[in-house]
């Protein structure tokens, strides 16, 4: 198992997040010793989903107004169509993602969250995967979409959806373990 003690990870999500795509990576990070903050566009709780059905709520640690990319060593973007569609249009989210990528900080992105990468302008020339319906968006933004459970491209690891979580978590932890804590702060 990876040892990620001292690593700070931002998890950006809002209402409509695919619950398991947030809770599973968050648990893997916690089990490896990382500190993972749930950051949202509003305080309190966000509504998790299982595809189209409401699941539980998830506590928000910080808002986008309170957190910045320079405070974190890595980024996780969980999916959920409603979640990703709401976040991708927010300038603070796009800037957060863009700045993390520009600094070479590792990012783990699953399912519909690839939309957020497209809107942040960081997919040109990159290899990645996503939920299959996002393929055209990635291709139109200059990315190369692959139908695989996990794709790694530099500081980016991507997966298609919930069934790929074991591979996603494994590769996320491997990628994040190569970055010294505080290296980008």
Q: What's the pLDDT score for residue 182?
A: 55
| Identified catalytic residue from 5, 42, 112, 184 | 112
pTM to 2 decimal places? 0.96
Q: pLDDT tens, 134-144?
A: 999 999 999 99
pLDDT more than 90, % of the chain: 92
Is 52 a catalytic site residue?
A: no
Cβ–Cβ < 8 Å for 90, 140:
no
First to last CA, the chain: 25
pLDDT more than 70, % of the chain: 96
The kind and range of the H/E element at 175 are helix 165-177
Q: pLDDT tens, 26-62?
A: 999 999 999 999 999 999 999 999 999 999 999 999 9
> Which one is the CATH code of 8-177: 3.40.228.10, 3.40.605.10, 3.40.50.880, 3.40.50.720?
3.40.50.880
pLDDT band at 5 (very low <50, low <70, confident <90, very high): confident
Q: What's the pLDDT score for residue 27?
A: 98
């Amino acid at each position: 198992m990876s040892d990620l003690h001292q690593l700070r990870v931002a998890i950006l999500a809002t209402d409509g997040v695919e619950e398991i795509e947030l809770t599973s990576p968050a648990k893997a990070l916690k089990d490896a010793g990382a500190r993972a903050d749930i950051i949202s566009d509003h305080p309190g709780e966000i509504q998790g989903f299982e595809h189209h059905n409401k699941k539980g709520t998830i506590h928000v640690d910080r808002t986008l107004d309170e957190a910045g990319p320079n405070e974190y060593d890595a980024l996780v973007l969980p999916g959920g169509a409603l979640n990703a569609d709401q976040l991708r249009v927010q300038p603070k989210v796009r800037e957060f993602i863009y700045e993390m990528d520009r600094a070479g900080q590792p990012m783990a992105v699953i399912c519909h969250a690839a939309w957020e990468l497209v809107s942040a302008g960081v997919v040109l020339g990159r290899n990645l995967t996503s939920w299959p319906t996002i393929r055209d968006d990635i291709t139109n933004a200059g990315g190369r979409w692959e139908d695989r459970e996990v794709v790694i491209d530099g500081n980016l690891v991507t997966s298609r959806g919930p069934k790929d979580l074991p591979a996603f978590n494994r590769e996320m932890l491997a990628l994040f373990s190569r970055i010294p804590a505080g290296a980008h702060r």
